C-alpha cells in the first residue's frame, strides 16, 4: 500500500508562456481513489496529462511508480481514459478492435493475440455492457456508448492504476451509474483511480480523496466534498458549482456546517 502510483513535486506547466500549473505537489498512493476537482480551465486536465508524462513539465518533477515518465517501462500498469474518443480518421474500427488496443502495453511485437488477450477484451466489453455491439463500428455509437468503449479499452489492459479524464462529462445517467459500479468493483480489488471530474454524481461514495485545483494550484486536499442540505436530496441536479466555490471560505467548509 505504501507504493505511490504518482508523485509530483513542484510540478509546473506553461503553454506559450502562460502558466497552467504553478507548483503542484501531489502523491497518489496505491489503492487511493482520488478525484481532481475544479472549474473549467483550472488546470486539472493538464495535471492528469502531466502526471502521465503526456505534457512535459517546465519545472518540478513527476514520477510514475517511482520512475520519471521518460524512463518508465511498465506502462501496462496504467490505464488511461482520455476525455473523448479521438477516432483517427475515415477508416472504421469496430468496438472490439478499439477495446483490444487497450492490451497493447501487455503485448510483445512478434507475439500473436493470445487467448488471455481475447478473454480480457471479452470481459471488458461485458463490464460496460457492449458485448452486443462488439462488431459495430465505434463511429456508429452514441457519445455515452463511446465513453464506455474508452473505459472498456482501459479495463482490457488490466492495469493497476486508472487515470480518467472527465469520464462522466456529457454522458447519460445510465452510463454514469455503470461507471460507478465498475469503479467500485475495481476499488474493491485494490486498484488505484485518479479521475478528473466536474461533478461527482454517482461516483461520490467511492471517492476517498478530493483534490481541488484552482488556477493551477492545489487549494484543497483531503476528504471529498459531501453534498449537504438541498444538494443531498436524491435527484438533485448539480448545475451550479458550489462544490468548487465553497472552498473560497475556510477549508473546514467541506464537511462543516454552512456559516
Partner 1 sequence: MIIELLQEQLFQLALVAALLVGLCAPAVGTFIVQRRLALLGDGIGHVALTGVALGFLTGTTPVLTAVIVSIIGAVAIELVRARGRTSGDVALALLFYGGIAGGVMLMAIAPGGSNAKLNSYLFGAIASVTPEDIWVIAALAVAVIGIVVVFGRELFVLCQDEEMARASGLPVRFLSLLIAVTAALTVVIAMRVVGLLLVSALMVIPVATSQQLTRGFRTTMGLAMLFGVLASVGGLLASTFSTKVPPGAAIVLLALAGFVLALGVGKFVRRGRTQESSVTDRPQLRVEEVA
Task: Give residues with Cβ within 8 angstroms of 161, minimum separation 6.
Answer: 5, 6, 28, 30, 77, 78, 79, 191, 192, 193, 194
Q: Where on the chain is the footprint of partner 1 (CB under 8 A)?
A: 52-54, 72-73, 75, 78, 80, 82, 85-94, 96-98, 101, 104-105, 107, 109-110, 129, 132-133, 135-137, 140, 153, 157, 163, 174
Grid coordinates standing for 158? 488490466
59-64: strand order across its sheet: 18-29, 4-15, 59-64
Shortest separation between residue 198's beta carbon and partner 1, angstroms = 20
**Which residue lies nearer to partner 1 by CB, 85 or 241?**
85
**Which residue lies nearer to partner 1 by CB, 31 or 53?**
53
Shortest separation between residue 22's beta carbon and partner 1, angstroms = 24
Instruction: Check: CB of residue 51 under 8 Å from CB of residue 62.
Output: yes
Exposure string over 36-59, b if 16+ CB within 10 A, otherwise e = bbbeeebbbbbbbbbbbbebebee
Shortest separation between residue 31's beta carbon and partner 1, angstroms = 21
Shortest separation between residue 92's beta carbon and partner 1, angstroms = 6
**Which residue lies nearer to partner 1 by CB, 24 or 51?**
51
Instruction: Check: CB of residue 18 under 8 Å from CB of residue 25.
Output: no
Shortest separation between residue 182's beta carbon and partner 1, angstroms = 13
**Which residue lies nearer to partner 1 by CB, 11 or 82?**
82
Grid look-up 482501459 returns: 154
Shortest separation between residue 160's beta carbon and partner 1, angstroms = 14
Instruction: Check: CB of residue 161 under 8 Å from CB of residue 132.
Output: no
**Which residue lies nearer to partner 1 by CB, 100 or 244?**
100
**Which residue lies nearer to partner 1 by CB, 161 or 254?**
161
Instruction: Check: CB of residue 126 under 8 Å from CB of residue 181.
Output: no
Strands 192-197 and 59-64: unpaired
Amino acid at each position: 500500500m505504501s507504493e505511490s502510483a504518482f508523485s509530483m513535486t513542484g510540478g509546473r506547466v506553461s503553454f506559450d508562456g502562460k502558466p497552467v500549473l504553478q507548483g503542484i505537489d501531489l502523491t497518489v498512493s496505491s489503492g487511493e481513489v482520488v478525484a481532481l476537482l475544479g472549474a473549467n480551465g483550472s488546470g486539472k486536465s493538464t495535471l492528469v496529462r502531466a502526471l502521465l508524462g503526456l505534457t512535459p513539465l517546465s519545472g518540478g518533477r513527476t514520477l510514475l511508480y517511482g520512475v520519471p515518465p521518460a524512463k518508465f517501462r511498465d506502462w501496462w500498469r496504467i490505464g488511461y481514459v482520455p476525455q473523448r474518443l479521438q477516432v483517427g480518421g475515415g477508416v472504421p474500427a469496430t468496438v472490439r478492435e478499439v477495446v483490444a488496443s487497450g492490451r497493447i502495453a501487455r503485448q510483445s511485437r512478434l507475439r500473436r493475440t493470445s487467448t488471455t488477450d481475447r478473454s480480457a477484451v471479452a470481459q471488458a466489453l461485458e463490464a460496460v455492457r457492449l458485448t452486443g455491439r462488439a462488431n459495430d463500428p465505434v463511429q456508429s455509437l452514441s457519445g455515452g456508448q463511446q465513453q464506455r468503449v474508452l473505459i472498456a479499452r482501459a479495463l482490457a489492459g488490466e492495469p493497476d492504476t486508472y487515470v480518467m479524464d472527465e469520464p462522466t462529462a456529457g454522458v447519460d445517467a445510465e452510463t454514469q451509474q455503470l461507471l460507478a459500479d465498475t469503479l467500485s468493483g475495481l476499488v474493491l480489488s485494490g486498484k488505484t483511480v485518479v479521475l478528473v471530474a466536474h461533478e461527482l454524481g454517482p461516483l461520490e461514495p467511492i471517492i476517498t480523496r478530493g483534490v481541488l485545483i484552482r488556477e493551477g494550484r492545489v487549494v484543497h486536499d483531503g476528504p471529498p466534498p459531501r453534498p449537504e442540505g438541498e444538494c443531498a436530496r436524491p435527484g438533485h441536479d448539480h448545475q451550479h458549482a458550489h462544490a468548487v466555490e465553497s472552498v473560497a471560505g475556510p477549508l473546514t467548509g467541506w464537511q462543516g456546517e454552512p456559516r
